Amino acid sequence: MRDRIHAGARPICLLLLLAGCQSYEKKPLEPEQILKSVAQRRTEVTAPGAESLTLGEATALMQRFNPRVRDARAAYETEYAFASVKTPLPNPTIEAAPTVLSGPGILAGKKHGVEGALGWAIVLGGKRRLTDDVNAIRAEAAQVDLGGVEREEYLALRREYVDLAMTGRLV
């Protein structure tokens, strides 16, 4: 009896091993490198001394350090990275459950058993392609939002420059 259980378990174990869909890829973070890059970015910004800051330089600083622009850029990059990955096939499923048999005519006097199932979902109707299209549209929407935020912040910066220029001429 025990040999039959072990003999039945081998194909199940083999199926479990074959059912793995993707292997694990290590992508470790390097904390020291991350901290160095953050410290370097923080020290790059220096207050302008006696020299005046041009609108182009202020725009470059705004695009790099403005919180709204950075949030919009991060949202776009996230959506773009998500849209760059094609929708994978669904994972196979394996199910097993104990079965208790009762009643007249039970085969060879066995009252207990195991019921198992192995299944794959077949995606029909181009749903994977449609999901990829939706992800691409979401990435485009995030890109449009990024452009709008950058434009709003640029116009606000330009308005401040005009106000400063006018106050300098009036005084």
Query: How many Å is the Cα radius of gyration of the chain?
Result: 31
pLDDT at residue number 108: 56
CA-to-CA distance for 135 and 84, rounded, in angstroms? Answer: 8
Quote the CA–CA distance of 78 and 59 in Å, as a whole number: 24
Chain centre distance of CA 81: 7
Strand, helix or coil for residue 148: helix
- Digits of tens for pLDDT over the chain (171 positions)? 556 656 667 777 766 666 665 666 788 888 888 888 887 876 665 454 546 778 888 899 999 999 999 999 999 999 999 999 999 888 899 999 887 766 665 555 566 778 889 998 888 888 999 999 999 999 999 999 999 999 999 999 999 988 887 886 655
Cα–Cα distance, 24 to 50 (Å, whole number): 55
What per-residue confidence (pLDDT) applies to 30? 86
CB burial of residue 142 (10 Å; 0-12, 13-18, 19+): buried
CA 37-42-47 angle, 5° bins? 150
Handedness of CA 105, 108, 113, 114 (dihedral sign): negative
134 vs 149: CA distance, rounded Å: 23
